[in-house]
């Protein structure tokens, strides 16, 4: 990082805000929608909760590995920074290429559109697209401001989301009539856990846990990053795991499986069961407000990847400047422009589907990097070491590898599109980037 950027890019994000960012990135619409599809093929309450426990273990193993990398290389950029230093700048560039184009903009657009749809159902007549655009622009404007403003907004929005889930859990346990279900494991549950239905459902559960690595993308803004980032990843992931298990337990506890089966709006259905006829509208309003923290956290993290690219590659230098609050404002404007296009064209569903393969490749390579870095630099200090090494990163790699194989086999079009994106990123690197790195990049390389 050049000296002018060091002066502007102050570290002001503490542990609480970093943890809130992780929680906000993870808790989106997935946990309120996916259970309906899971109960179609799985009717065992124990197996259904085990799905969410396995997904949480997967995310926790990834968070432990990323904690080691972030503590050793505490700089914004996420996988772009890690993979550039561990393997080769070309590998890191491809990861950054994916994140910059739609890796963050597409989820922001998706969450904004979901919020618009929820509110339009609660208040008929509201234009869903108009609401989505208004929310995306308003939250982006907030993120042009000071670190204190951003931190307070993120903390309040995420606190509301957590309180929403906790309140729903408590109300479900107190007000609802429990369903006649057996929660104890049986021998037949072992067969369910080895079934294709369990495997398919696990893919979508792990998607619901995505975002466990959120705080590494703004490492340059975090106080004492070698300590704070690993703690935020672990704390955030553990909080979300507990919330997901409790929330899915309440969904099953309060609402008949036959009612949930095949339905997307699980939160609406559970709200109606718990609160009565007006429950669906109440849940719609609360879920839409809860989505604000997800939009905010991704709006904060995404531009930092482009900023990291711009600080090291001349081709992207236009996006390197920071405003008086240390915000990469040009990168933020570009992300907002992409979000607006995606919201207006409604093409983000396909983009997100094919990105699932590409983003899984990035995280897979990053966790492999824990082994590679220890082998290449055995004597380099590690401020944080992955707990349970080598078992925990191997568990993550095994689950991710299985998902990649599954996607290649059953989603070949999207997977091939993801591979094409990787190929295009490599072409851009070798044609226009390889010999266009700034002195900052060379300095970073020598430090690694």
Q: Is the pLDDT of residue 134 over 60?
A: yes
Confidence of residue 387 (pLDDT cuts 50, 70, 90): very high
Residue 79 placed within a domain? yes
Domain membership flag for residue 442? no
- Can you give the pLDDT at residue 350? 59
Highest-confidence segment of 87-101, 228-242, 398-412, 423-437: 228-242
Question: What is the chain's mean pLDDT, rounded?
Answer: 85
* Residue numbers of the domain that contains 307: 3-435
What pLDDT does 69 receive? 95
- DSSP annotation of 42: -
Predicted TM-score (pTM) of the model is: 0.82
**Of 205-214, 334-343, 384-393, the least confident:** 205-214
Look at residue 443 in the predicted model and tell me its pLDDT.
45
The verdict on residue 403 lying in a domain is yes
Mean pLDDT, to the nearest integer, of 88-113? 85
Burial (CB count within 10 angstroms: exposed 0-12, middle 13-18, buried 19+), residue 145 = middle
Q: Tell me if 445 is assigned to some domain.
A: no
Query: CA–CA distance from 369 to each of 97, 301, 374 (Å)?
Result: 19, 22, 8
Q: Are 365 and 80 in contact (CB under 8 A)?
A: no
277 located within any domain: yes
Rounded to an integer, the average pLDDT of 259-274 is 82
Count of structural domains within the chain:
1
Residue 385 has pLDDT above 80, yes or no: yes
pLDDT tens per residue across span 162-184: 898 898 899 999 988 889 888 88
Assigned token pair, 363: 């995280």
Q: How confident is the model at residue 86 (pLDDT cuts 50, 70, 90)?
A: very high
CA-to-CA distance for 75 and 65, rounded, in angstroms? 16
Is the predicted pLDDT of residue 280 greater than 60, yes or no?
Answer: yes
- CATH number, position 191: 1.20.1740.10
For residues 263 and 36, give the distance between their C-alpha atoms in angstroms, rounded to a whole number: 5
Highest mean pLDDT among 30-44, 100-114, 377-391 belongs to: 377-391
- pLDDT tens-digit readout, 11-60: 678 899 899 889 988 887 678 778 888 888 888 899 999 999 999 999 99
Write down the pLDDT at residue 421: 82
Position 292 pLDDT exceeds 70: yes
Copy the structure tokens of residue 420. Answer: 């094409």
Helix and strand numbers, DSSP H then E, in the chain: 20, 0
Note the pLDDT of residue 117. 81
**Cis amide leading into 212 (omega within 30):** no
Residue 447 in any domain: the answer is no
Residue 442 pLDDT > 70: no
């Amino acid at each position: 990082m050049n000296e002018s950027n060091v002066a502007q890019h102050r570290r002001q994000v503490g542990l609480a805000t970093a943890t809130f960012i992780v929680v906000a990135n993870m808790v989106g619409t997935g946990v309120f929608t996916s259970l309906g599809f899971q109960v179609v093929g799985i009717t065992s309450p124990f197996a259904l909760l085990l799905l969410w426990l396995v997904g949480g273990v997967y995310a926790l193993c990834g968070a432990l590995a990323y904690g080691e990398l972030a503590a050793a290389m505490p700089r914004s950029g996420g996988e772009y920074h890690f993979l550039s230093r561990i393997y080769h700048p070309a590998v890191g560039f491809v990861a950054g290429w994916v994140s910059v184009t739609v890796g963050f903009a597409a989820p922001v657009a998706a969450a904004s559109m979901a919020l618009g749809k929820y509110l339009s159902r609660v208040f008929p007549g509201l234009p869903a697209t108009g609401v989505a655009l208004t929310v995306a622009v308003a939250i982006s404007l907030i993120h042009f401001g000071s670190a204190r403003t951003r931190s307070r907004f993120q903390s309040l929005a995420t606190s509301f989301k957590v309180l929403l889930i906790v309140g729903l859990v408590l109300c479900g346990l107190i007000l609802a009539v429990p369903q006649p279900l057996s929660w104890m494991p049986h021998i037949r549950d072992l067969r369910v856990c080895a079934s294709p239905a369990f495997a398919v459902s696990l893919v979508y559960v792990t998607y619901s846990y995505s975002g466990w690595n959120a705080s590494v993308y703004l490492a340059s803004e975090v106080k004492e990053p070698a300590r704070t980032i690993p703690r935020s990843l672990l704390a955030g992931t553990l909080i979300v795991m507990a919330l997901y298990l409790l929330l899915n337990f309440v969904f099953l506890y309060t609402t008949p499986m036959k009612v949930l089966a095949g339905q997307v709006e699980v939160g609406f259905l559970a709200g109606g069961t718990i609160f009565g006829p007006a429950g669906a509208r109440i849940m719609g309003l609360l879920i839409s407000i809860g989505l604000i923290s997800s939009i905010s956290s991704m709006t904060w993290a995404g531009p930092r990847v482009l900023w990291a690219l711009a600080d090291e590659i001349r081709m992207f230098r236009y996006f390197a400047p920071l405003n008086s609050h240390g915000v990469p404002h040009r990168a933020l404007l570009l992300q907002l422009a992409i979000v607006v296009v995606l919201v207006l064209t409604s093409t983000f569903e396909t983009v997100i589907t094919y990105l699932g393969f590409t983003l899984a490749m990035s995280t897979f390579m990053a966790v492999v990097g824990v082994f590679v870095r220890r082998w290449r630099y055995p004597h380099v200090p590690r401020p944080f070491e992955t707990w349970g090494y080598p078992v925990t990163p191997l568990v993550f790699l095994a689950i991710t590898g299985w998902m990649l194989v599954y996607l290649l086999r059953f989603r070949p079009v999207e997977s091939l599109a993801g591979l094409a994106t990787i190929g295009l990123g490599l072409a851009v690197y070798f044609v226009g980037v390889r010999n266009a790195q700034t002195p900052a990049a060379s300095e970073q390389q020598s430090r690694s």
